[in-house]
Amino acid sequence: MNRRLLKIRKQLAKPAFLKISDEDFLKRIEKADEILNSCSLCPRKCGVNRNEGQIGFCRQGRNTSVSYYSVHKGEEPVICGGNGAGAVFFVGCTLSCVFCQNYQISQQSKKGDFKILTDTELADIFLNLQKMGACNIDLVSPVPHIPAILRGLFEARKLGLNIPIVFNTNSYISETALDLISDIVDIYLLDMKYFSEENSLKYSKVKSYPETVQNAVKSMFKSRGDLIYKDDLLAKGCIARILLLPNKAEEAEKTLSFLAENEIFIPISIMGQYNPVFNASKYPEICDFISQDRIESVVKFAEKLGFLDIWYQNVEANKIYLPDFTKANPFENV
């Protein structure tokens, strides 16, 4: 192999956050910290000063809190690989889903339940996961934590962190926040829950969800649409996770049609693991499980639209992937 090709190959093999200069990284950190003066990291645009202790909808301050981290085999096979993803479960959320499986940490946690971490402590978590053999750093519900994540990654890369970064997101993120993480994140593991505003408002207390999420997905695809694999693991790209809600699976089909119409032919993960936990019992129409037949009919629908890479969970997944964050290992069954 000639020197130029070797250089290109090495560049491709490097995670994105190792390719940007210190100067660029520090500018992003500065900008992210400034945004916290009047927070607009997600489209709620609460405008609170998180640097001075004010809190918005997500209830997060300047620094971050992590409820649990470990190598984790509950993600898609190209994310987990043999050893597992290095999952970091952040506290809080920008949505308020009545059926949230992580409700103990996303909505129920109170001030003081989890330690507020310094940048160095967050960097240590990333480095520990690498030492544990994780094939990437899988940031779960990261949007309110972007400033702290940037600071932690900057410290961790100085100390040898060199695995890809997965942004495992509900996709409810502002363009400003997406700009901060472009060229930092390697893989977007992006959720699409609803196609209609009526449902997003009713079940997640969020207005204009379909439009903002669809725009964010277009941006994520533009930034990381081309898939690069290293061995059997995804090193760069996007995966769309499409939630199937009971009696509302047609929402998922409309979302798939939106992706196809916009030629966003990324790998698709059909989520059949819905379990009517938390406040779902207050909504009889979604207080149910998804049937295996309905899961398979959505998979066929996706195939007909032209999607080639499709994962789907069988109906038993609703028991396996239900975490309990009061336990030392919330994912005992995975």
**Among residues 32, 46, 181, 298, which is the contact residue for ligand SF4, using CB under 6 A?**
46
The phi and psi torsions of 8 (rounded to 5 degrees) equal -60, -45
- The answer to the question of residue 45 lying near ligand SF4 (CB under 6 A) is yes
**Among residues 18, 20, 38, 40, which is the contact residue for ligand SF4, using CB under 6 A?**
40
Q: At what angle do helices 146-158 and 22-35 cross, to 10 degrees?
A: 160
- Under 8 Å CB-to-CB from 56, ≥6 apart: which residues? 39, 44, 46, 47, 48, 50
- The answer to the question of residue 105 lying near ligand SF4 (CB under 6 A) is no
**Binding string to ligand SF4 for residues 117 to 146, with x set by CB under 6 A, is what?**
--------------------------xx--
Q: Which helix (H) or strand (E) holds 233?
A: strand 233-243
**Count of residues interacting with ligand SF4 (CB under 6 A):** 15
- Kindly tell me the sign of the dihedral angle through the C-alpha atoms of 26, 30, 36, 38: negative
Residue placing its CB nearer to ligand SF4 in the complex, 109 or 291? 109
**Among residues 15, 25, 28, 57, which is the contact residue for ligand SF4, using CB under 6 A?**
57
256, 305 contact by CB (below 8 A): yes
The two tokens of residue 222 are 């533009």
Q: Which amino acid is at 315?
A: V
**Among residues 15, 56, 84, 267, which is the contact residue for ligand SF4, using CB under 6 A?**
56
Tell me the window of 26-34, 42-50, 184-192, 256-264 that interacts with ligand SF4 (CB under 6 A). 42-50
- The answer to the question of residue 100 lying near ligand SF4 (CB under 6 A) is no
Residue placing its CB nearer to ligand SF4 in the complex, 31 or 45? 45
Question: Rounded distance, CA 110 to CA 91, Å?
Answer: 10
Residues that bind ligand SF4 (CB under 6 A): 39-42, 44-46, 48, 56-58, 60, 94, 143-144
